[in-house]
Amino acid sequence: MPAKQLKDLTPAVVLRSFVGRDRLSNHELFEQLALQLDDPEAARQCVAPVGNAGARCNLFKRQVRWHQQTLKHLGVIERVGRGTWRLSEDAREKLTPAPRRRVLLAFSTDLGCALWANAEDVFAHLGEPITLAFTSPPYPLSRPRAYGNVDHTSYVDWLLPILEPIVAHLRPGGNIVLNVGNDIFEPGSPARSMYVERLTLALHDRLGLHLMDRFVWHNPSKPPGPVRWASIRRVHHNAAYEHVLWFTNDPSLVIADNRRCLREHSERHRQLIEAGGASRAARYADGAYSRRKGSFSALTPGAIARNVLSIPHRCSDQQPARDFASARGLPTHPALMPVRLADHFVRFLSEVGDLVVDPFGGWVTTGRGAELNARRWLVTERCREYLMGAAQRFHGSKGFSSAMECGDA
């Protein structure tokens, strides 16, 4: 069995096997995971000597058991009998993962569609070029969510194979934008993980992308935290932002226009326009910046946006979908990306009619931002119940059709 296949068996992969199942025996778990590999029989027969004693054991099963114990210590799964496990009460949610190598339509509009599928089974076979991929992958949390997470040490090797086919289908000058978490720490330490830096370098070195900018998404409504390090140990400030990394495959052809996402002029700027511009020339910082007389007199449609975006995480556009899910006992996706964030990058980095994609759909916020701006869109999400809630955001869209109403089996 190739070492790469063993490396692909992360705690998150094992955890996903339990989602939607009441309980799972070790035998069922081994079989389910083996069938997800390229060579299931090689996994079943992967026997080799281990340790100083050289005892022979199945390396595949040994790796799975190791991850089982990790999930047990994290409180995510619990034993319910000899050789039988289930999701713990804290981790259990009614999530139905998409079967591998199957792609099912969840809902669609005239402009786009949301697929109940694993991203790996969709984007490798896409038949047209992508202008923008805007996505917020699951963060590398120390305590996995029910939909599954990998830890920060495995994050790059997990994420890059998912992004690789999307990068391969980018048109020249196409863009990849990733919203990634900032509050990820070394185990038991107040030192932040450097996974964002490793990810940035890997996207350049391994996928050939070029870093265009590091945006800051300032979230003024972000809850206080990290609690352990800010409120209890008092060694950190409360966090108020996340990273948004922008990459392109060709900087010389990059598809971007800041005139599509202008901001309102400040009151001071409006006063200068009305007064015919600055009344006198000035030089600042030893000439690094100069202002001539009459500067800022031109009447323009708006001001160029800055790369710090201050947007609260809750938005009214998402609330009806959350209310729908709550009223029907559906699990609500814990990630709260606001549509204003997606809207900004959709307008900035694509044009009307371009294809915008997201391999981690969640509330299908990327699709919603594309829909509102007349872009075509394609979103994948592996958890069926999240798509049932997200569909409510598109009921008023032209051509809306859903194959996943709440009463479906």
| Mean pLDDT across 287-303 | 82
**What is the reported pLDDT for 147?**
65
| Mean pLDDT across 136-156 | 82
pLDDT digits (tens, 9 = 90+) for 246-255: 999 999 999 9
Rounded Cα gap, residues 208 and 206, in angstroms = 6
Sheet holding 84-87, edge to edge: 24-25, 84-87, 77-81
Residues 259, 260, 266, CA angle at the centre, nearest 5°? Answer: 60
Would you say the C-alpha torsion 224, 228, 229, 231 has a positive or negative sign? Answer: positive
Residues for the chain: how many in total?
409
| Mean pLDDT across 228-248 | 96
- Average model confidence (pLDDT) across the chain: 88
**What is the reported pLDDT for 72?**
81
Percentages helix, strand, coil for the chain (3-state, rounded to 5) are: 35, 20, 45
| Mean pLDDT across 325-345 | 87
Q: Domains in the chain, ordered, with CATH?
A: 3-87 (1.10.10.10), 104-260+304-402 (3.40.50.150)
**What is the reported pLDDT for 166?**
98
Q: Does the pLDDT at position 91 exceed 80?
A: no
**What is the reported pLDDT for 145?**
67
Per-residue confidence band for 308, with pLDDT thresholds at 50, 70 and 90: very high
**What is the reported pLDDT for 289?**
75
**What is the reported pLDDT for 20?**
58
Task: Measure CA of the first residue to CA of the last residue in the chain; give whole Å.
Answer: 37
**What is the reported pLDDT for 209?**
98
| Mean pLDDT across 384-392 | 91
Rounded Cα gap, residues 279 and 293, in angstroms = 6
Q: Judge if pTM exceeds 0.75.
A: yes
| Mean pLDDT across 81-100 | 76
Higher pLDDT, 88 or 362: 362
The closest alpha carbon to 303, from 261, 242, 335, 255, belongs to 261
Q: Does the pLDDT at position 280 exceed 70?
A: yes
**What is the reported pLDDT for 163?**
98
Q: Does the pLDDT at position 395 exceed 50?
A: yes
pLDDT digits (tens, 9 = 90+) for 174-185: 999 999 999 999
Neighbours of 137 (CB within 10 A): 22
Q: Does the pLDDT at position 407 exceed 50?
A: no
Rounded Cα gap, residues 369 and 252, in angstroms = 26
**What is the reported pLDDT for 144?**
64
Rounded Cα gap, residues 89 and 234, in angstroms = 31
